[in-house]
Chain A
Amino acid sequence: EVQLVESGGDLVQPGGSLRLSCSASEFLFSHYLMTWVRQAPGKGLEWVASINADGGEKNYVDSVKGRFAISRDNAKKSVHLQMKSLRGEDTATYYCARAGSRYSSAVWGNTFYMDVWGKGTTVIVSS
């Protein structure tokens, strides 16, 4: 079964650090762009970070730039999110998601979508 499993969520004090991991199975992990998406309690979805298939390109939402770092290990089929200088507003469930792509005549090219999601891991930033 195609699957993503997150781990590493915890209760951490403001200013602290945490490393989230996401382990993939049953698909060609090294072929896919991978993302992290978070959801604060009672709020909507927020894209956090993306890393391309070979790890050479990384992108972040403005609110985490300079504090979070995404990385991947294709040999171990895993993607990570290193978080530092954590704030209360980083409290959320963090989801790992695969970005699939397919040619679509609707856009006359490839389009991307998050087609596989993990169950999420919870980060609470509080003293």
Chain B
Amino acid sequence: DIQMTQSPSSLSASVGDRVTITCRAGQSISSHVNWYQQKPGKAPRLLIYAASTLQSGVPSRFSGSGSGTDFTLTISSLQPEDFATYYCQQSFNTPLYTFGQGTKLEIK
């Protein structure tokens, strides 16, 4: 199994802040990382795939980077609707997937 470790597990920030969430894979996975946003009571939403490709319809303030074992999701200027939980996921081992444990982004 490929473990995915996210940090931090929670984060407090203000509207307009720049925020970075990190995900580390237990082995090299090239750029096979996806990022999802989930709001309470809702299904996850794909934000970024292949580490850095923005899914259609996702605002450009979201960006992703990394390859190998270390990956980041950055929100350049937080908006009120961005307060949610974020998950990384490896797809290197498709069709077996692993998610990170999640990062809850809260309003400061």
Contact = CB atoms under 8 A, between A and B. Distances in A.
B49 interface: yes
21 contacts: A35-B95, A35-B97, A44-B102, A45-B89, A45-B99, A46-B99, A50-B96, A59-B96, A61-B96, A62-B1, A95-B44, A104-B49, A104-B53, A107-B31, A107-B32, A111-B91, A112-B32, A112-B94, A113-B89, A114-B34, A114-B36
Interface in B12-55: 30-32, 34, 36, 38, 42-46, 49-53, 55
Instruction: Tell me what chain B mostly uses at the interface: helix, strand, loop, or mixed.
Output: loop
B96 A119 contact: no
Interface residues of B, number: 31
Contacts of B30: 106-107
Contact of A52 (B34, B46, B95, B102): B95
Instruction: Tell me what chain A mostly uses at the interface: helix, strand, loop, or mixed.
Output: strand
B69 interface: no
A20 B106 CA distance: 33
B87 interface: yes
Given A52-B95, A111-B31, A104 B50 contact: yes
A6 to B, nearest CB: 10
Nearest to B34: A113
Contacts, number: 87
Contacts of B98: 47
B101 interface: yes
B99 A104 contact: no
A106 B102 contact: no
Nearest to A113: B49
B3 interface: no
Residue with the highest number of chain B CB atoms closer than 10 Å, among A95, A111, A115, A120? A111
Interface in A47-101: 47, 50, 52, 57, 59, 61-62, 95, 99
Interface string A105-127: 01100011111011110000000
